[in-house]
Copies of this chain bind each other. A is one copy, B any other.
Amino acid sequence: MKKVAIYGTGAFGYAILKHLDNKHDSSFQLSAYDHHPGTTEHLREKRSHPIFHKDTIISHRPEFFDTPEELVANADIIVLAVPSRATTEVTRLISENAPNNVTIVNIAKALDKATGKRLSEIVEQAAGDFPYHYAQLSGGTIASDLFHHEPLGIDIASEDESTRETLKQLFTSSNLTVMTTDDVRGVEYASALKNVISILAGIVKGLGFSYGSETHIISTTADYVGTICVEKLGAKPETFSIGSQCWGNDMWMSCTGNTRNRAFGELLGSGKPVSEALEEMHQGHKLVEGVNTLQVLDQLPEFKEVETIKCTARSHR
């Protein structure tokens, strides 16, 4: 029986835990840990989360550990559901406490805030000689949709075929379609960069342009960004296709749905300065992931020459 450890029970980590718990699948055993002791305690005793989807009850099956060392000690698969800034620290802990050849599944959609590196590179650096398998899980899955058993799609990327197959079987359910690819690098760029395009879409909306203008600018920018990723950053073309769950699906979800990045862009487009718009989002306890990615694009020379999207029509009205 495989042991699956969820490292972090924030909104999305908890949604993954609940998704796997719902499968009532006896071929794996679930466990979880949260760095807030109160959250762990609540999950263990009340079988519900103190903050997210409070009315949802989880079964008696998942085990909750008080320390991360206990969580990872016997794990076969670790789902990394921590903020991207904690990646190095958590990887070090895993490399010191988990069994050799454990599978690490990252679900953060970001580039490293300090260096612009992909998170798989940060994990590799922090893991040193420790042997592990790595996968990235990305797609058009917001936590609340997972909770409501909406039909959704994700991509799982890993260079190792048996890791892909194991994870596909683990996550697939009647409502979740899992596609697999070996293009880890491409999926990482796609997941992080669609958030930046989502901010742009919000700006276009905030400036007062029509929905047809939004879709025109999203499609041409996505084409442009995808081309840079494929031609200069070594990603595979299919990762940047319309049917790609981490790109074609998630980008349109992020760009035209009710998302934080788009909302932030709309504030900018309507004339708010960046600091004020960020403040307004933070007051609503909303982190805008795309802003961090936008900031580190400067560290990627491939994006230095990106042309500004010109909305010249406005001056002709």
Which residues of A come within 8 Å of B, CB atoms? 139-142, 144-145, 148-153, 174-175, 177, 209-213, 215-220, 222-224, 226, 240-245, 247-250, 252-253, 256-258, 311-313, 316-317
Minimum CB–CB distance from A192 to chain B (whole Å) comes to 17
Do the beta carbons of A253 and B152 come within 8 Å of each other?
no
Do the beta carbons of A211 and B174 come within 8 Å of each other?
no
Do the beta carbons of A242 and B245 come within 8 Å of each other?
no
| Docked complex Cα distance between A184 and B308 (Å) | 31
Add 15 more A-B contacts to A148-B210, A219-B249 (CB < 8 A): A145-B212, A145-B213, A150-B209, A150-B313, A152-B213, A153-B216, A174-B312, A175-B312, A175-B313, A175-B316, A211-B258, A216-B245, A219-B242, A223-B243, A256-B256
| A151-B216, A216-B140 known; A223-B248 Cβ under 8 A | yes
Residue of B nearest to A309 (CB): B151
Do the beta carbons of A241 and B241 come within 8 Å of each other?
yes
Minimum CB–CB distance from A214 to chain B (whole Å) comes to 8
Do the beta carbons of A142 and B212 come within 8 Å of each other?
yes
Which of A148, A257, A313 has the most chain B CB within a 10 Å cutoff? A313
Pick from B144, B151, B240: contact of A313, CB under 8 Å: B151
Minimum CB–CB distance from A154 to chain B (whole Å) comes to 9
Do the beta carbons of B252 and A151 come within 8 Å of each other?
no
| Docked complex Cα distance between A316 and B216 (Å) | 37
How many copies of the polypeptide does the oligomer hold?
2
Do the beta carbons of A211 and B257 come within 8 Å of each other?
yes
Residues of B within 8 A of A210 (CB): 144-145, 148, 150
Residues of B within 8 A of A215 (CB): 140, 249-250, 252-253, 256-257
Do the beta carbons of A212 and B141 come within 8 Å of each other?
yes
Do the beta carbons of B211 and A223 come within 8 Å of each other?
no
Minimum CB–CB distance from A271 to chain B (whole Å) comes to 19
Do the beta carbons of A252 and B253 come within 8 Å of each other?
no
Residue of B nearest to A313 (CB): B175
Residues of B within 8 A of A144 (CB): 210
